[in-house]
Amino acid sequence: MTSRSTSLEHRLRRWLRLYPIDQREEMLGVLLATAGPGQERPTPRDAADLAWGAVRVRLRREIRSLGGPIWRDAFAVLGLVATALVSTGLIAYFRDDAVVAGFSPVLLQEPAQVWPMWAPWPAVAALSLLGLRRTAAGLAWAATLSQLPWLAVAQGHDAIDSVYVGGNLLWFGLAILAATALSLSGGLRPAFASLGGLRGAALMTGVAAFAFALIWLAAPLAPMPQRAVLLRPVTVHNPAWLLAVASLTLIGVACARPRSASGRRSTIVVLLALSPLASSLVLWSTPFSTFGTAAQTLYVAGPLTLLAIMGVALASRLRRQRRSTS
């Protein structure tokens, strides 16, 4: 083998790392056989074709695997995170408003103080941990859909007012994600088994810390310093912002397991689910003109992308069930 062909093979192998391992050797043989005489590197067109082909192959395989066990474990971790976050809605109901009299809300709109919306969620978690997966998922959907009458009529104009709609839809969206994840997974037991004891404890600590930052801490209505005219007063005067950032980071790190296939996918779905919360933190801490448009886009695009993934996973699972029964 000449040095030129060796150089071409080395460069082609680097491009073929983008492909699944079972396709690389066959593709390498075809590419070497069709290479021109004296060619030392892929042409720009060949490189673009290899990159685009890798995207299509990976995407097709990922779509086929959405109904499989790897994604089921990822949805279990998502269900754990979303259920834990939605369960914090009870804190808003039992909190004494006198504690925060004269203060303004922190970070974003807190959950509505309507206890029937949030009371079922600890029971959902308990049922799922006991192995009653279908019962837990059914109760989760009942609790989620119970928010619709309140969103439609209970608060009247306030429910759709621009001041409130972001927070109301955020908590409703989290509930939808939790119920859908519980329906597509084996429940919360596989999530704790997948994460392990240390990561599971870190995740729950992060959820508890974020709930504390979101609901219990408040910022005084003090005048904004002249030097910080572009920053929100809650960021300048209150440590809740830093606590919220640290807790979200802890949740993400606890779910990040890049060495396993299900771990990589659980990282993706959890980050997409947390994107509205992260976007809210960005909007509180920076001038709108800097990251405002991008943060608002992420606020909506993250959950919608995740719901699309879940929809494809559901369709894939239903197709598998039809094939197995036919």
The whole-number pLDDT of residue 221 equals: 41
The whole-number pLDDT of residue 4 equals: 54
Close Cβ partners of 91 (under 8 Å, ≥ 6 residues apart) = 111, 211, 215, 216
* pTM metric for this prediction: 0.77
Q: 133, 251 in Cβ contact below 8 A?
A: no
Residue 98 has pLDDT above 50, yes or no: no
CA separation, residue 178 to residues 171, 238, 246 (Å):
11, 30, 22
- Report the mean per-residue pLDDT for the chain: 77
Close Cβ partners of 45 (under 8 Å, ≥ 6 residues apart) = none
Strand partners, 219: 104
Tens-place pLDDT, residues 130-161: 989 999 999 999 999 988 877 776 555 555 55
Tens-place pLDDT, residues 31-44: 888 877 777 788 88
- Both tokens assigned to 246: 């640290």
Q: How confident is the model at residue 102 (pLDDT cuts 50, 70, 90)?
A: very low
Q: Report CA torsion sign: 245, 251, 254, 256.
A: negative
d(CA 264, CA 262): 5
Tens-place pLDDT, residues 225-284: 433 333 444 444 456 677 878 888 898 888 888 888 888 888 899 989 888 877 877 776
Q: How confident is the model at residue 223 (pLDDT cuts 50, 70, 90)?
A: very low
Closest to 178 measured CA to CA, from 285, 273, 279, 320: 273
Question: In which region does residue 232 sit, left (phi positive, over 0), alpha (psi from -120 to 50) or beta (all else)?
Answer: beta
Tens-place pLDDT, residues 161-215: 545 556 677 788 889 999 999 999 988 999 998 888 899 899 989 988 887 776 6
For the chain, report the end-to-end CA distance as a whole number of angstroms. 53
Residue 82 has pLDDT above 60, yes or no: yes
Percent of the chain with pLDDT over 70: 74
Tens-place pLDDT, residues 160-170: 554 555 667 77
Closest to 32 measured CA to CA, from 51, 15, 56, 52: 15
Longest dimension (CA), the chain: 82
